[in-house]
Structure 1
């Protein structure tokens, strides 16, 4: 699939477009798009939740559900929360792995969680 790079405005395609789409879906709060209220993930409802296994499972499910609904080009095999131990700001990332339904290529991307910047 072809599309446009959200930062530069240049044309992008294939895995670059898929990675941009995955990041956009995971980082968009539900109901924040006026014309597409169901677009995005429920990830942001876990901002102040306890850091335990149950919350992580719900977080993984929120991302997997959003990607299954909005991105038919990817079949997920793994979703994992990763904390940057070397950073004192406590940055976290979501690692997403799977394969494309178009070509069968393996895909792996890391989506930064900027939960502190939610307006």
Structure 2
């Protein structure tokens, strides 16, 4: 799939396009996209909560829900959320890039 880099405007494809797409899905608050009100994830609503066991489960579930619905090129196998600083969470993902069938890891997805 081809797309456009949101920072440079240049053409983007493959795993780099997938990472940009996943980042967009996970950082978009549900209800904020005009004409696509159900697009996004619940993650932006969760980032200010204390990072404990219950929140970790919510973060994992919200990530899995959003990616299952909006990103057909990626089969999620593992989610690891970590707090990098107050009000910020980094999401580390493992899964299968389905167009090639290869396992991949994606990190640096900041909320």
Map 1:40-55 onto structure 2 (within 5 A). Answer: 40-55=40-55
Number of residues paired by the alignment?
A: 109
TM-score (norm 1): 0.84
The higher-RCO structure (CA 8 Å, 6+ apart) is 2
Query: Which has a greater percent of strand?
Result: 2
1:2: Cα distance to partner? Answer: 0.8
Return 5+ residue gaps in structure 1 as ranges: 114-119
2:77 matched residue in structure 1: 77
Residue aligned with 1:102, SS: coil
TM-score (norm 2): 0.90
Cα distance in 1 between the residues matched to 2:48 and 2:82: 17
Which segments of structure 1 move beyond 4 Å, counting only runs of 4 or more? none
Return 5+ residue gaps in structure 2 as ranges: none
1:83: Cα distance to partner? Answer: 2.8
Cα distance in 2 between the residues matched to 1:48 and 1:97: 24
Residue aligned with 1:92, SS: strand
Q: Deviations over 1:71-93 (max 9, x none)?
A: 00000011111233xxxx44430
